[in-house]
């Protein structure tokens, strides 16, 4: 069986470290397609899609997987898109949205072959009949994230199989940080949902405004405890921001003539950082 250990951890090599080239020059869509094609073919050769899409045998011909005798029809039924399959015919014309759909679709249908036999005739290859979905998806995700991290401003495939925009690298630690010892339902879960809503590919300004509003609601939930560790002016300023800029309520006195793309980004990270600060101060003073 093939080696299924994850790829080496990402790091900057000599020319990037020494400043001789940018540390991360983003891939174009065409470059991402080129790298994805090679990655898909490698994963397919290692059997990561056999469980669902079957395999070709030099003796027996096509042996279908769980998707049935027509993977093309199965892909159409699941994605409702005619432009995604078969990949060797559609990849060149794919939009960014099409390609991201395919990456997410393949995540759902990845699994590692763990039981089977190697067909030696004509070097046919491994024929699997037992699979581990969790391990397969983890390997697929690690492999694809090595590509997605360099596309545009950076993207990643989440553990749930959804592609998110990474955004500014400076905010990565804040987005990845866990909230200590808090109400899971009213704080931690709502913060995670807000982050997902804000970062999800294709998110609109309305989605981002909702995400900021959700974070403001979390702050409202911890407000009484926060007052014990903040002075009254600091506490009031936190909520005046959302109330005055048309985030949490809707009235004619609010400021609505700001550039939403810029201000929503600032308010999102401001509130997220404030929640972390408040929660840690609350925990520290218990």
Tell me the C-alpha distance between 148 and 151, whole Å: 5
Peptide bond into 86 cis (omega under 30): yes
Tell me: do 175 and 151 sit in the same domain: no
Domain end position, chosen among 165, 186, 214: 165
Task: Look at residue 157 and give its three-state secondary structure.
Answer: strand
Tell me: do 117 and 142 sit in the same domain: yes
Tell me: do 148 and 261 sit in the same domain: no
Domain end position, chosen among 111, 135, 165: 165
Tell me: do 33 and 157 sit in the same domain: yes
Tell me the C-alpha distance between 13 and 15, whole Å: 6
Residue 19 lies in a domain: no
**What residue numbers bound the domain in which 48 lies?**
27-165
Residue 252 lies in a domain: yes
List of residues 6+ apart from 97 with CB closer than 8 A: 201, 202
Tell me: do 113 and 199 sit in the same domain: no
Digits of tens for pLDDT over the chain (286 positions)? 556 666 676 676 767 666 666 555 678 899 999 999 999 999 999 999 999 998 888 888 888 889 888 988 999 899 888 777 888 888 999 999 999 999 999 999 999 998 988 888 888 888 888 999 999 999 999 999 988 988 887 888 988 898 987 765 666 677 777 787 767 777 888 888 888 887 776 677 788 888 888 888 888 888 778 777 666 555 556 556 555 554 544 444 444 445 666 778 788 888 888 888 888 888 777 6
Residue 216 lies in a domain: yes
168 φ, ψ to 5°?
-65, 130
Tell me: do 157 and 65 sit in the same domain: yes
Give first-to-last CA distance, the chain, whole Å.
Answer: 54
Tell me: do 123 and 231 sit in the same domain: no
Tell me the C-alpha distance between 227 and 221, whole Å: 11
Please count the structural domains in the chain.
2
Domain end position, chosen among 165, 188, 215: 165
């Amino acid at each position: 069986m093939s080696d299924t250990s994850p790829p080496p951890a990402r790091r900057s090599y000599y020319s990037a470290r020494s400043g001789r080239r940018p540390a991360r020059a983003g891939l174009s869509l065409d470059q991402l397609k080129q790298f994805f094609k090679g990655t898909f073919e490698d994963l397919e050769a290692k059997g990561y899609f056999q469980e669902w899409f079957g395999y070709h045998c030099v003796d027996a011909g096509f042996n279908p997987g769980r998707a049935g005798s027509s993977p093309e029809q199965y892909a159409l039924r699941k994605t409702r898109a005619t432009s995604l399959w078969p990949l060797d015919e559609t990849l060149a014309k794919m939009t960014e949205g099409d390609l991201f759909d395919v990456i997410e679709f393949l995540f759902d249908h990845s699994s590692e072959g763990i039981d089977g036999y190697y067909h030696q005739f004509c070097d046919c290859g491994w024929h699997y009949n037992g699979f581990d979905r969790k391990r397969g998806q983890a390997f697929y995700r690690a492999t694809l994230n090595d590509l997605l991290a360099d596309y545009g401003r950076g993207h990643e495939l989440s553990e749930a199989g959804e592609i998110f925009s990474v955004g500014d690298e400076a905010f990565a630690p804040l987005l990845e940080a866990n909230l200590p010892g808090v109400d899971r339902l009213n704080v931690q879960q709502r913060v995670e949902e807000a982050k997902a809503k804000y970062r999800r590919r294709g998110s609109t300004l309305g989605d981002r405004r909702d995400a900021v509003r959700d974070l403001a609601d979390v702050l409202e939930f911890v407000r009484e405890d926060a007052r014990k560790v903040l002075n009254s002016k600091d506490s009031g300023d936190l909520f005046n921001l959302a109330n005055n800029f048309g985030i949490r309520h809707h009235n004619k006195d609010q400021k609505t003539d700001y550039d939403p793309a810029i201000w929503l980004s600032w308010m999102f990270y401001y509130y997220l950082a404030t929640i972390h600060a408040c929660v840690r101060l609350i925990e520290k003073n218990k």
